Structure 1
Amino acid sequence: MKMIACWLLLLSFLPIVASAQQKREEIIVDGMKRAFVTYLPAQKTANMPILISLHGGFASPKGMLHLADFRPLADKEHFILVCPASKNLWHDGANNKGIDDVKFIDELITYIIKTYNADASRVYVTGISNGGFMTTRLACQLHNRIAAIAVVAATLNINEGYDLEKPMPVMYIHGVTDPIVPYNGGKKFGRQMYSHNAIINKWVTLDGCDPQPVVTQIPDNAHDGTTVMREAYSNPKNNLKVVSYIINNGGHTWPGGWQYFPKFIVGKTTHNLNACQVIWDFFKPYQLKAGI
């Protein structure tokens, strides 16, 4: 008994090691339960940034966490990761069919800020495919709440009742041989969409960036048959940037992620780029400022 008492006394002096938390939460929007997964890093501080990560069509927060795992970065860089769930698809078009996903994300941002004392000026959104199109829609309609976006394997729908309005730092990553969302745009899934180059040019014009980018070639160091070209457009007056990553021989995939479907269905996943890392590195200097 004395030995046990000694051990208990010793343990009482040891520091309590904080642990990360991942939990499923819900809010009510327009009378509907809307679910999301929140990941809080082990070292929690006040005024942490928020990174919202939107899954693709017919996917899930769990799947997005597997495909684009920002959790190690959240632990290292101390930000809150939120993976919301769509109702099968994100309603990125003008016809919401009774489900207002813009309102959902708007109220979700408010909930995370209030519940976890997060930084309202550092809210970032990323997404892939259907979630990528939704990310661009949010940049159009929630630009007063979002500091920067990063879009993978998606662009912007044309003639859907909304368009780019406010300058914002943006990043777009697209595979040249994407079989699901064509790199060159066109009509798909009953909608017209901009090409990768067209959406980059729209943002470059809106952000007032120099139309001549700084170009960086990333070779096939992973020996997976892909190469990457990075084009960075800058406006030194307002510090805004538009960054384009073009994945040569890349498919409808998350760079650095796992090959979630066979190559003959979605194309190749490049491992010459870690999308999670470059997206976070792009986001973290930015915060909402009046007048931009």
Structure 2
Amino acid sequence: MKRSKYILLSAVLFLLLLVSFAHRKPALYPGDIRGSIVVEGRERTFILHLPANFSREKSFPLVIALHGGGGNGYDMERLTKGGLNRLADEEGFIAVYPDAVRKHWNDGRNLSGYYSQRENIDDVAFISALIDYLVENYNANAGRVYVAGMSNGGLMAYRLACEVPEKLRAIAVVGVPMSEMLYEECSSTVPLPIMIILGTDDPLVPWNGGELHFGPVKLGRVVSIEKTVGYWAVRNGCTVMHGREYLPDADPEDGTRVWVERYSNCTDEAEVVLYGIEGGGHTWPGGYQYLPERIIGKTSRDIDANKIIWRFFEDHGYP
């Protein structure tokens, strides 16, 4: 018993040490704005990146990027290696990186260890209000609002797609299937295009479903990626499944291969796309290796998640 407590304490202290080291001397990217709004009496913060050609006289698509557990908006920017910001400048869209309360989103897992979930912080209300704020004050296009999330942020993206799909045009999730609770309770039937990117060798998230965990710490359960994709294919009314297609091995040294599966002929063209990262870990393809490989697994360099996510969003530009 004492040994198990020691192992748990050591794992938590090690994680805190790594996170503390990773957060030294944060700096905003050029052109970033720190902002805040008040939602349900609580100040909620975010980092806003406006494209180089921004003008309040013109309407811009909006990409909301949700960070993983233990992080914040700055960490999400860094995870993408500034790639979303560069695309925003090149392609002309607004990127925003919201901050969760105490670094975890209330994604519906009901974990007592996370303040946001224990206190039932209404993050759906926050993101909904943030969309309204950016539409009103920065002329974001209300018909072209997209959400991309990593890990805890990905689970939050699923929840948004269940509770406020009418405010979204498409979502992209990296690093996680649906939680068991959301899979069973999501009642929406609104078709919504979705892209999912998941590593087969993720040490935190089981490909075939089961317990999420960081070392010995259990973090709730997810269904398999097969069930997740199946749910979306049915919800979106897709009738054609295309066979698995392997992409070129652009970086033979990274230890990964990437394939793509597509589900098409869907209601309102709400296709479902899965990128499987063979050998990939709990990472953002083409992004920053935020923790050592022995802890989170490999980062694929065969694809750039920023680019394929934006292209997916762009392909679903209008209803």
Q: If the length of structure 1 is used for normalisation, what is the TM-score?
A: 0.88
Deviation at 1:164, TM superposition (A): 5.3
* Alignment-derived partner of residue 155 in structure 1: 177
* Alignment-derived partner of residue 93 in structure 1: 108
Q: In 1, are the aligned partners of 2:196 and 2:273 still within 8 Å (CA)?
A: yes
How many residues align structurally?
A: 270
SS of residue matched to 1:144: helix
Which ranges in structure 1 are unaligned for 5 or more consecutive residues? 1-19
2:225 partner amino acid: H
Higher helix share: 2
Identify if the C-alpha distance between structure 1 residues 235 and 81 changes in structure 2 by more than 3 Å, giving closer, same or farther: same
> Does structure 1 residue 123 correspond to structure 2 residue 152?
no
* Alignment-derived partner of residue 235 in structure 2: 206
Distance in 2, matches of 1:49 and 1:241, equals 19
Which ranges in structure 2 are unaligned for 5 or more consecutive residues? 1-29, 111-116, 213-217
Give CA deviations for 1:186-230 in whole Å, capped at 9, x if unaligned. 133352211112111111111111242243212422021100010
Give CA deviations for 1:222-252 in whole Å, capped at 9, x if unaligned. 0211000101111166322100000000000
> Does structure 1 residue 79 correspond to structure 2 residue 93?
yes
Larger Cα Rg: Structure 1 or Structure 2? Answer: 1
Identify if the C-alpha distance between structure 1 residues 237 and 203 changes in structure 2 by more than 3 Å, giving closer, same or farther: closer
Q: 1:113 aligns with which of 121, 135, 159?
A: 135
Distance in 2, matches of 1:176 and 1:219, equals 18
Deviation at 1:30, TM superposition (A): 1.1
Question: What does residue range 273-292 of structure 1 map to in structure 2 within 5 Å?
Answer: 273-287=303-317, 289=319
Distance in 2, matches of 1:21 and 1:86, equals 22
Deviation at 1:268, TM superposition (A): 0.1
1:47 partner amino acid: S
Distance in 1, matches of 2:126 and 2:185, equals 17
2:221 partner amino acid: Q
* Alignment-derived partner of residue 183 in structure 1: 207
Identify if the C-alpha distance between structure 1 residues 237 and 55 changes in structure 2 by more than 3 Å, giving closer, same or farther: closer
Distance in 2, matches of 1:56 and 1:186, equals 19
Q: In 1, are the aligned partners of 2:68 and 2:149 still within 8 Å (CA)?
A: yes
2:134 partner amino acid: I
RMSD over equivalenced CA pairs, Å? 1.6
> Does structure 1 residue 260 correspond to structure 2 residue 290?
yes
Q: In 2, are the aligned partners of 1:146 and 1:288 still within 8 Å (CA)?
A: no
Give CA deviations for 1:249-282 in whole Å, capped at 9, x if unaligned. 0000000002111111000000001100000000
Q: 2:273 aligns with which of 243, 262, 274?
A: 243
SS of residue matched to 1:159: helix
1:185 partner amino acid: G
Q: For structure 1, which segment, 74-83 or 154-163, has the greater mean C-alpha deviation from structure 2 after superposition?
A: 154-163
Q: If the length of structure 2 is used for normalisation, what is the TM-score?
A: 0.81
Deviation at 1:104, TM superposition (A): 0.4
Question: What does residue range 211-226 of structure 1 map to in structure 2 within 5 Å?
Answer: 211-223=240-252, 224-226=254-256
> Does structure 1 residue 137 correspond to structure 2 residue 184?
no
Q: In 2, are the aligned partners of 1:177 and 1:250 still within 8 Å (CA)?
A: yes
* Alignment-derived partner of residue 8 in structure 1: none
SS of residue matched to 1:222: coil
